[in-house]
C-alpha cells in the first residue's frame, strides 16, 4: 500500500459522482477554506478552486467517473491523486455519511499523508486498455453461452457432444430438429447459437482492430512477451496494457501482489492467521497470467513435466498457481532487463 505524503498549500478532497461533486478544501493548517457541492463539470470545478490554485493538490476516490477529472487536472497542471477504493475504509465509517462528509474525510487523509494511492493510468493508452477489457468481457459471455448449450444437452441425457463447440464448424453436429424434440428447447438452443455467432463476430472484429491499431510504445517489450510459448498478439497486448510501466513496481514482490499471484500472510502476536487480501489487485492481469500459464503448459513439454512433478506433491490447483507466479516473476524480469523469454533458464532450478 502506498500513501501520498507530499506537502502542499491546499488540499482538495472530491467526492465525485456522475452529475455532482462535493469539494472540501483545507489549507496547510487543516482549516476548511471551501466546502460545497457543485455540478460535475470542468468549468464548475475550476471556478470552485480558482482562488486556491497556487500549491493545490486534488484527490478523489477511484470510481467509474474519475477519468475526466484526472485529465482536467493534467491539462491544468494540478497534481492529482487517486484514492484506492478498497483501502479507504475511513470514508465508510461514522454514524452519518453524506457527500460533504466524505469529501472532508478525503481531504483530511490527503493532508495527513494517509491517503492510499491507486495508479492513475494515463490518457492515450487507457482507452485501448478499456477496449481490451471489453473484449475479455465478451469472451466470457461467449463461454457462458457455450456452457449453457452443453448443459442443456446433458439436462435431457442426450448423446454427448464429441467436438468442441467453440469452433463454428463443429456446431453443425447439434442438428437441432433431430436432437431436440421440444420446440421450446430448440428455441432455447437457437438463442445460444445466435449469441455465440454474434460474440464470434464482435470478438474477431475487436481483435483485428486491436492488433492493427493498438498503440505500442515499446515494440521490443511487446515482442518479448510474445516470446513466451503460447502467448499470441492479443494476450501480449493484454499483459502489456495492464502492466503499462513495470518500473512503477520497485520489487518483483510488489508486481506479483498486484497481479494476485501470491498469498498475503496475516500474522498477529507471532501466530499466522491463514492468508487474506486475495481479491486485492488487478483481476484482469490475474486472468491474463492464468491464461498464459495454461497456454504455456499446452505449448511446452518442459512445462508439462514440471507441472506433473509439482502436482504429485501439492495437487493440480497449487501447482498451476506456483507456475503462474513463476511466470509472473519471469515477465517482470524480462520487461525490466529487456530480455527475451528463455525456457531453459525458466525451468533450470
Domain boundary, last residue among 196, 213, 230:
213
* Structural domains of the chain, count: 3
Q: Is the pLDDT assigned to residue 266 strictly greater than 70? A: yes
224 shares its domain with 291: yes
Residue 272 domain-assigned (yes or no): no
Residue 270 lies in a domain: no
pTM of the model: 0.89
Residue 276 has pLDDT above 70, yes or no: no
| Residue that is last in its domain, among 60, 86, 118 | 118
pLDDT digits (tens, 9 = 90+) for 68-99: 999 999 999 999 999 998 888 767 777 888 99
The answer to whether residue 195 sits within a structural domain is yes
250 belongs to a structural domain? yes
Are residues 148 and 114 located together in one domain of the fold? no
Boundary residue ending a domain (118, 141, 173): 118
> What is d(CA 223, CA 249) in angstroms, rounded to the nearest whole number?
21
> Do residues 21 and 37 both lie within one domain?
yes
At 12-62, the pLDDT tens digits run: 999 999 999 999 999 999 999 999 999 999 999 999 999 999 999 999 999
Domain region containing 8: 3-118
Is 175 found in the same domain as 82? no
Q: How confident is the model at residue 202 (pLDDT cuts 50, 70, 90)?
A: very high
Residue-wise pLDDT for 205-220, tens only, equals 999 999 998 888 888 9
Q: Using pLDDT thresholds of 50, 70 and 90, give the confidence band for residue 321.
A: very high
Q: Is residue 108 part of a domain?
A: yes
State the average pLDDT for the chain.
Answer: 92
Distance CA 122, CA 147 (A): 37
CATH number for position 31? 3.30.420.40
Q: Are residues 63 and 21 in the same domain?
A: yes
Amino acid at each position: 500500500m502506498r500513501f501520498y505524503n507530499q506537502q502542499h498549500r491546499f488540499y482538495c478532497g472530491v467526492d465525485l459522482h456522475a452529475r455532482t461533486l462535493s469539494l472540501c478544501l483545507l489549507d496547510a493548517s487543516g482549516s476548511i477554506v471551501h466546502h460545497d457541492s457543485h455540478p460535475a463539470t470542468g468549468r464548475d470545478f475550476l471556478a470552485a478552486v480558482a482562488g486556491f490554485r497556487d500549491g493545490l493538490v486534488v484527490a478523489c476516490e477511484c470510481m467509474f467517473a474519475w477519468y475526466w477529472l484526472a485529465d482536467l487536472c493534467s491539462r491544468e497542471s494540478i497534481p492529482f491523486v487517486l484514492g484506492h477504493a478498497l483501502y479507504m475504509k475511513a470514508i465508510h465509517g461514522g454514524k452519518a455519511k453524506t457527500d460533504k462528509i466524505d469529501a472532508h474525510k478525503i481531504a483530511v487523509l490527503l493532508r495527513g499523508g494517509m491517503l492510499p494511492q491507486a495508479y492513475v493510468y494515463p490518457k492515450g493508452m487507457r482507452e485501448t486498455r478499456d477496449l481490451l477489457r471489453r473484449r475479455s468481457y465478451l469472451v466470457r459471455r461467449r463461454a457462458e453461452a457455450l456452457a449453457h448449450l452443453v448443459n442443456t444437452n446433458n439436462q435431457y441425457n442426450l448423446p454427448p457432444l464429441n467436438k468442441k463447440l467453440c469452433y463454428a464448424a463443429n456446431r453443425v453436429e447439434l442438428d437441432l430438429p433431430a436432437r431436440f424434440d421440444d420446440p421450446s428447447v430448440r428455441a432455447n438452443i437457437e438463442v445460444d447459437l445466435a449469441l455465440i455467432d454474434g460474440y464470434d463476430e464482435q470478438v474477431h472484429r475487436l481483435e483485428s482492430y486491436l492488433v492493427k491499431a493498438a498503440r505500442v510504445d515499446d515494440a521490443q517489450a511487446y515482442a518479448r512477451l510474445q516470446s513466451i510459448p503460447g502467448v499470441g498478439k492479443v494476450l501480449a497486448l493484454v499483459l502489456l496494457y495492464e502492466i503499462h510501466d513495470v518500473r512503477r513496481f520497485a520489487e518483483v514482490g510488489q508486481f506479483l501482489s498486484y497481479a494476485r499471484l501470491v498469498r498475503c500472510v496475516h500474522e498477529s502476536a507471532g501466530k499466522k492467521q491463514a492468508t487474506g487480501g486475495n481479491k486485492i489487485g488487478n483481476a484482469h492481469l490475474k486472468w491474463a497470467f492464468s491464461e498464459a500459464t495454461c497456454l504455456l503448459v499446452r505449448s511446452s513439454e518442459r512445462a508439462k513435466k514440471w507441472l506433473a512433478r509439482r502436482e504429485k506433491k501439492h495437487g493440480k490447483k497449487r501447482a498451476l498457481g506456483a507456475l503462474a507466479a513463476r511466470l509472473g516473476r519471469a515477465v517482470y524480469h524480462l520487461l525490466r532487463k529487456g530480455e527475451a523469454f528463455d525456457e531453459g533458464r525458466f525451468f533450470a532450478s
